[in-house]
Amino acid sequence: MEDTKKNTLIRVEDLTYGYEDDPVIKNLSLEVNAGEIVLIEGENGAGKTTLLKCMTGILNNCKSVFMDGKEISECKEELKNISFVMSEDFLYDYLTLRENVEFFKKLFDEDADFDKNIAFFVDKFGLGKYEDYLVKNLSQGTRNKLYIAIMFSKHHKILVLDEPFTALDTATQDVILDYVRGYTKLTDKAVIMVTHIAQFKEISTKRFLMKLRGEI
């Protein structure tokens, strides 16, 4: 019998987070395997973003979250294998587009593959003409393209998307859609996403519905 556990990239086991009497997430468990595009659904307030932040170490110190069979709270190095694209960017306003790329390459300790990936997205998103612009002078849509380009280009096994498509034009959404769809087919990676955009929902291969107390 084939051992499918080797394909599990991240696992959440009996996660509870929030106030003791009123937790945002309660006794939640889920598993994400290589090659999957996992859609997290639920009403506003169900805890979708909270779950993603727990899984990526922003909240809860990664307790009850496992990668490679190890709880991430005990092995924070595993977080390098996650790229978390949030709804708001964390670019530096008083650096140029090029300087932001250079800064994050050093911050993430990336290699030549990062340069290759960034060049691909700069071309696809039409960002080349803005290389010497201060980020504070860019439109929100252009900022979003840069942020996504950086986070897609860094090394990772799991791509986490929390409504990052705001202010993006349809052509850019189509580029990202094609990338995400092909990303899991050609690699041993996975995507976890929260989105209200129908086209992205349609490419999901697994769906989790979160109820108002974070139960799936």
Whether 21 is covered by a domain: the verdict is: yes
Q: What is the pLDDT of residues 137-170, one digit of tens each?
A: 999 999 999 999 999 999 999 999 999 887 789 9
What CATH number did the domain enclosing 39 receive?
3.40.50.300
Hey, what amino acid is at 95? L
- Position 2 confidence tier, pLDDT thresholds 50, 70, 90: very low
Whether 172 is covered by a domain: the verdict is: yes
The range of the structural domain enclosing residue 166 comes to: 5-210
- Predicted TM-score (pTM) of the model is 0.88
- Tally the domains of the chain: 1
Whether 215 is covered by a domain: the verdict is: no
Whether 216 is covered by a domain: the verdict is: no
DSSP string, 128-180: GGGTTSBGGGS-HHHHHHHHHHHHHHS--SEEEEESTTTT--HHHHHHHHHHH
**What's the rounded Cα separation, in Å, for the pair 53 and 55?**
5
**What's the rounded Cα separation, in Å, for the pair 70 and 73?**
9
Distances in Å between the Cα of 110 and the Cα atoms of 88, 161, 212 are 22, 21, 39
